[in-house]
Every structure is written in C-alpha cells, then in structure tokens.
Amino acid sequence: MKRHYLWGLTELSVVALSGCASLSADGGLDQVSQLTRERIAQPVAFQRDAAQTEIAQARVSELLKGPLSVDSAVEVALLSNRDLQAQLANLGIAEADLVRAGRLRNPGFSFGRLSGNGVVEYDRTVMFDLLGLLTMPMARQIEQQRFERAQLQAAQDAVTLAANTRRAYFNAVGAQEQLRYLQQVKETADIANELAKRMAQVGNFNRLTQMREQAFSADTTAQLARAQQQALADRERLTRLLGLTGEQVKFQLPDRLPELPKQALEVRSAEQTAMDKRLDIQIAKRQTEALARTLGLTRSTRLVNVLEVGYQNKSETGAQRSNGYEISLELPIFDFGTARVARAEATYLQSMNRVAALGVQAQSEVRESHAAYLTAYELARHYRDEVVPLRKRISEENLLRYNGMLISVFELLADAREQVTGVSNAVAALRDFWVAQVNLDTALTAGSPVAASVSPISVPATAAKPGH
C-alpha cells in the first residue's frame, strides 16, 4: 500500500510541476522595453515573424522621408538593426531554459526479454528522476535569475546600440558640416591662386608669393579629399548601425549639428546613480546571485548526484506476474563531491570580486565622463560666444579696410580663410560636446562609454601674406 501511495504522490507532483511551466506571451520583452524607456525614452521590439518585420520597415520608411533627427536615428536602429534582433533572440533561449527547468526530465523506459530452458522472462521498468523533482524549485530559481540577467543584457544591448547610433549621428553630421566649410576654403584658395598667377604674369607679384598661394591651393585640395573620405566613412558607419540597405542608404541628414544647450546638465549623485542604474552592474549582480544559488545546489547534491525511482514489472512463462519499484542512486565512493563544491565556491568568489571591481570602474568612469562633458561644453561655448563672433568682427573690419584700399585682396582672402578655420573648429567643438554627452549618459545608465571615434579637424594652414 505504501509503495502505491509513493508512486501516486510522485506522479501527481510531476503533473503539477510540469503544468506550471509555460512560455510567456511577451517572451520577457515587456521588462526589456521598460528598462530601455527609463534610459533612452524608447521601447524595443523583437520581430518574431514576417508581419512584425513588415510593420517595422513601414515605420522605418516613414522616418526616412525627411532629414533624420538624432531620436529618429535611434528609433530606426532599434527597428532595423539585425544584430540587435539576433541578440534579442537570446531572450527566447533563456525563457526556454527557464520553462525546461520547471519540468521534470522525461522518464526512462527499459524492456528486457530473456529465454532459456523453455522459460521466457520479461522485465519492464519505468524510471523517474526523483532528485530532479526534489531540486526543481532551486533549479527553477537559478534559471529565473538567468532569465532576468538575459533581460538586463537585452536592455543593455539596445541601450548600447542607441548610444553608438547617437555618436555616429553626431560624427556624420559634424563631418558633413566640416566638409562644407572646407569646400568654401577650397574655393577661396582657387580664387587666390588664379589671381596670384595673373598678377605674377604682369609683374605685380613676385614668384615666391605666387608659389605660396599655389601651395596653399594644392594643400587645400588634399585636405578636401581627406574630408570627403572622412564624411563618407562616418556616414557609412551610421548606415551600418541603422541597418539600412538599398535605396534606404540615401537618407538625409540635417545641415547643422544641434545648437549648444543654454546650460550644461547638472548631474547630482552621479556615482550613486551609476551604481543603481548601470545595466552592466545589474547583470553582474544577477550572475553572482545565480552562482550563489548554484553553489547551494551543488552543496545539496554533493553526495547524491543521481537519484531515480521507478516502477518495475516482471513476468515469466508459467509464473504469476510480479510488480515492484526500483531505486537507483550514485554511490559516493570515489568522488565525494568536494571538487565540484570547491569549483563552485571559487567561481562564486571570482564573480563577487568582479562585481566589486566593476563598481570601482563605474564610479571612475562617471567622474571622468562628467569632467569631459563639462570641459567639452565650456570649449564649445567659448567658440560660440568668443572665437566665432570675434572672427566675424575682424572680417567685417577687413572688408571695410579693403573697400578703403587700405589692404590688398590677398589679405582679405587670407582673413576669410582664417574665419572659416575658426568656424570649422567651432563645429568640431560642438560635435565633441554632443559625443561627450552620449558618453556621460552611457556611463550613468548602461555601461562603460566607448571612446568616441570623431572626425579629425581638417583645416588648411593659413597662407602667408604677400611680401612675407
């Protein structure tokens, strides 16, 4: 009677526990979208079928009709970047592991037939993983933490993509604006070179001054070629992050970078904010918690690693059928589980130290990123409020002097080149500010800010004035 009761209880437990484990409707994506909204103000969507992909591409086409803003670029990347979609598939893998952890391993069935001396014997056995049943709650908790870690990782992947897209966007727009100013420099240099040639021909210019103007024109041509290549490279880098192909690569960008804010952002309790909101720290904590539970499970099963119970049926010719049960377990004779426990303990300690090291790194990165952000803001404001207006006033004054025949046309052209140089440096400073803001946001909420790859400031050297 007790044997039948044990068998019935095991069967009911298996049915109950297996029935509770099922796949969720959203696949864990709702939590991921909540995490991304808190950090980049945009959700993330996993395209599971062709219909969802078609809807996403329709939205992308709508966003590409006009010049892309930085927020529109991020939305396009979240919808169209295939690498992100591949990474989001890890959610489904983690959830499948979670569901499987809540289901008992399939029972094993064995059948044997033995004959001899006119007697035929049959053995039938059905085995269930009793140890798996007993450890199922802890195993499910471990997989639940791994699933939560996968959600955090998916959110970090999306936030990182958004940050990289913002950097690439500002670099591309800045490079485009730089290229436009260098084209103006090239036009000025060509005019000065042609005028110098004509004046040298009539004897109003010495040969040395004429060659200086020619050299400046040649240098400007090389500078312009490098700027064109840089603008193309920055645009293609942005295109890859956006995940665009075909006619989509003809998307438009604005002519200018966004204006500098009236004041810099005030970041309070930056270090604590990073410790609370950085996704890489939360991922590391979840991993450490899962390892702690794994360590507990390892310690619980250090002596008994295999435990199976099953129903056995035996019959032979001319004899009454017999029924019973069978228990199978691993005998701890050669391995007492000490090595497994030691390995689990070392792995846990390793993870704890990595979390602590990551915390130190995060606090340092936030301080560094905040300082770089403030410096970039002050530098961009300096160019906007001091350098560019001063260059403009100098240019206006030189124009008046030229109209009064106090300076030559070459001095006027040289001043024009210097003005463009100041504006070009101002564009680079504004671009660096926006990139610095992206790095600060990343250091506060996502992870380590990637060192921004910005376009080099490509500015021709000022030509020497005639007579020097």
- Full-model pTM: 0.78
Nearest to 418 by CA among 468, 455, 464: 464
**Confidence (pLDDT) at 299:** 57
348/353 Cα distance (integer angstroms): 9
| Residue 114 β-bridge partners | 121
pLDDT per residue, tens digit, the chain (468 aa), is: 434 433 444 444 444 444 455 666 667 788 888 989 988 999 998 888 889 889 999 999 999 998 999 999 999 999 999 999 988 888 888 877 777 776 767 777 777 777 667 676 777 777 666 656 666 676 677 777 788 888 888 999 999 999 999 999 999 999 999 898 888 888 877 877 787 788 777 777 677 777 877 777 788 888 889 989 999 999 999 999 999 999 999 999 999 999 999 988 888 888 888 888 888 888 888 877 777 766 665 555 544 444 455 545 555 555 566 665 555 545 454 445 566 677 777 877 777 788 888 888 888 889 999 999 999 999 999 998 988 888 778 777 777 776 777 766 667 666 766 777 778 889 999 999 999 999 999 999 888 886 444 555 555 544 444 444
d(CA 454, CA 168) in angstroms, rounded, equals 8
- Which are the contacts of 324, defined by CB distance < 8 A and separation ≥ 6? 3, 311, 312, 314
* 69, 129, 166 from 102: Cα distances, Å: 46, 13, 41
Alpha helices in 383-447 (DSSP H): 388-403, 409-445
Of 232, 249, 10, the C-alpha closest to 128 is 10
- Residue pair 97/143 in contact (Cβ under 8 Å)? The answer is yes
> What does the alpha-carbon distance between residue 199 and residue 206 come to, in Å, rounded to a whole number?
9
Collect all residues with Cβ–Cβ distance below 8 Å to 145 and sequence separation of at least 6: 286, 289, 290, 293
Q: What structural domains does the chain harbor?
A: 2-445 (1.20.1600.10)
> Which two three-digit tokens encode residue 446?
């996502």
- Whose CA is closest to 242, among 63, 47, 73? 73
Is 278:446 a contact under the CB 8 Å cutoff?
yes
Q: How far apart, in whole angstroms, are the C-alpha atoms of residue 153 and residue 131?
A: 32
Confidence at residue 78, expressed as pLDDT on a 0 to 100 scale = 94
Give the position of tokens 């041509």.
221
Question: What is the rounded CA–CA span in Å between residue 288 and residue 107?
Answer: 33
> How far apart (Å, rounded) are the C-alpha atoms in residues 171 and 257?
9
Q: How far apart are CA 374 and CA 174, in angstroms?
A: 20
- CA gap 331, 392 in Å, rounded: 89
Provide the terminal-to-terminal Cα distance of the chain, rounded to the nearest Å: 114
Do 73 and 166 meet the contact criterion of CB atoms below 8 Å apart?
Answer: yes
Instruction: Report d(CA 338, CA 346) in Å as an integer.
Output: 12
pLDDT for 186 equals 83
